[in-house]
């Protein structure tokens, strides 16, 4: 037990009362849904910026995911024409900055420096805008750069993938990978707005189309049984790329994710409860072990299957609900087992061991492990200790049956 040395340590506080500082922060931002955002007749973006214009046109810096540009080759010309149409409201300060798509955007710290340097070069202030167009990983990196440049540049996110639109890019977190850890550096910085333009989804590969559905499955399983029933009954239609249905799935998923963030009392995650990370502890490790060849959503699907199977073995989840969940994931096209899941699973010291992520997850949560399991479809359950022997059994079940 630590004790003060009375001879050496003294209370140097003056006889003045303590000033107890308390700051209450309230924030609000819209999440819009549209088609053809940069069509000259679509005034959504112009109205958003004009609402804060106050008779001064705003400086706008555009940053684009190169993967998006490959599929939408006329995008830069469209943006240029759109800004010229609304020149009384906004002006482009430079040609659009192009950044590589995918997880590499979060692994390259030099990209952040490039964003910072460009912000400085063109003279953006806190009343200027960065328009970020791309997938979730790119928007994570740009969000982190924007939040740390000139005390937080206003950011309008335009996510272009299913996963980014229904979960990863609609919230207040921005993060990049560092020191071999996923999302090690990050900020909580609400965007000025999020605009989900469904027209970007038309050019997605089947893999990216499918990948984002995993986060909708996740939130349905822990929050909304009716939503999960919709996904289950319409799984084949989603596989067949029914756009109207996908719009419903994205909207409901976004609504559930945002509602949780707004109402659970811990929007900035000061505690250790992270139900929205259901299925994610294993997913993060699998992404790393596959050198990020495995999409985030694909890894989350495996993580969901693993935690559902663990819940089933523990007797929390009925056999019928367990099978229904895993069969839905299979119909959606997800693989539920890859060799990396069981590599070195008996040797916790081996860096390939999936269970190493449990300790990293504990540290990420502030020292207290919290894993979300399923008590039933639509109802999550948080636990603080896990049995790796049972998890090994769960892995073998996935390997042999699914």
Concatenate the DSSP letters of all residues of 148-206 into one string.
TSTT--EEEEEE-SHHIIIIITSSSEEEEEETTEEEEEEEE---SEEEEEGGGGGG--H
Q: What is the pLDDT of residue 281?
A: 93
Supply the pTM of this predicted model.
0.91
Find, among 329, 322, 391, the residue nearest to 357 by Cα.
Answer: 391
Concatenate the DSSP letters of all residues of 22-66 into one string.
---------EEEES-TTSTT--HHHHHHHTTTTTSPEEEEEEEEH
Q: What is the pLDDT of residue 208?
A: 95
- Per-residue tokens: 148: 């740390």
Q: What is the CATH number of domain 206-256+272-401?
A: 1.20.1090.10
Q: Could you check whether 31-203 and 206-256+272-401 share the same CATH topology?
A: no
For domain 31-203, is the CATH number 1.10.390.10?
A: no
Low-confidence spans in the chain with pLDDT less than 50:
1-2
Q: What is the pLDDT of residue 1?
A: 44
Nearest-5° Cα angle at 338, 312 to 275: 45
* pLDDT digit string, tens, across residues 367-388: 688 899 999 999 999 999 999 9
DSSP secondary structure letter of residue 5: -
Cα–Cα distance, 362 to 384 (Å, whole number): 9
Please answer whether residues 50 and 214 qualify as being in contact, where contact means their C-beta atoms are separated by less than 8 angstroms.
no
Cα–Cα distance, 401 to 309 (Å, whole number): 11
Domain boundaries, the chain: 31-203, 206-256+272-401
């Amino acid at each position: 037990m630590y004790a003060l040395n009375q001879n050496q340590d003294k209370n140097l506080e003056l006889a003045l009362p303590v000033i107890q500082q308390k700051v209450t922060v309230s924030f609000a931002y819209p999440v819009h849904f549209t088609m053809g955002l940069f069509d000259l007749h679509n005034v959504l973006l112009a109205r958003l910026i004009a609402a804060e214009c106050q008779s001064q046109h705003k400086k706008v810096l555009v940053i684009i995911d190169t993967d998006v540009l490959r599929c939408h080759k006329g995008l830069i010309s469209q943006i240029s024409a759109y800004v010229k149409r609304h020149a009384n409201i906004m002006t482009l300060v430079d040609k659009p900055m192009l950044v590589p798509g995918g997880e590499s955007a979060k692994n390259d710290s030099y990209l952040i420096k490039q964003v910072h340097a460009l912000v400085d070069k063109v003279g953006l202030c806190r009343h200027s805008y960065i328009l970020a167009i791309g997938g979730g990983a790119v928007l994570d990196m740009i969000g982190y750069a924007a939040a740390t440049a000139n005390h937080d540049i206003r950011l309008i996110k335009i996510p272009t993938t299913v996963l980014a639109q229904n979960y990863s890019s609609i919230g207040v977190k921005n993060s990049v990978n560092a020191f071999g850890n996923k999302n090690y550096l990050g900020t909580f910085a609400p965007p000025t707005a999020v605009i989900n333009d469904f027209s970007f989804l038309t050019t997605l590969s089947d893999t990216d189309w499918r990948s984002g559905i995993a986060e909708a499955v996740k939130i349905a399983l822990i929050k909304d049984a009716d939503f999960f029933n919709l996904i289950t009954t319409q799984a084949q239609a989603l596989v067949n790329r029914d756009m109207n249905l996908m719009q419903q799935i994205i909207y409901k998923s976004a609504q559930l994710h945002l509602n949780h963030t707004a109402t659970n009392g811990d929007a900035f995650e000061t505690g250790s409860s992270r139900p929205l990370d259901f299925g994610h502890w294993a997913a993060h490790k699998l992404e790393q072990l596959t050198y990020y060849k495995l999409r985030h959503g694909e890894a989350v699907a495996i993580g969901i299957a693993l935690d559902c199977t663990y819940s089933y073995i523990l007797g929390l989840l009925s056999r019928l609900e367990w099978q229904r969940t895993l069969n839905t994931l299979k119909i959606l096209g997800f693989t539920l087992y890859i060799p990396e899941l069981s590599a070195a699973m008996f040797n916790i010291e081996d860096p390939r061991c999936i269970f190493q992520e449990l300790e990293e997850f504990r540290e990420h949560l502030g020292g207290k492990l919290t894993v979300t399991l399923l008590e039933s479809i639509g109802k999550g359950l948080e636990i603080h200790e896990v049995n790796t022997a049972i998890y090994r059994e769960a892995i073998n079940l996935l390997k042999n049956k699914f």
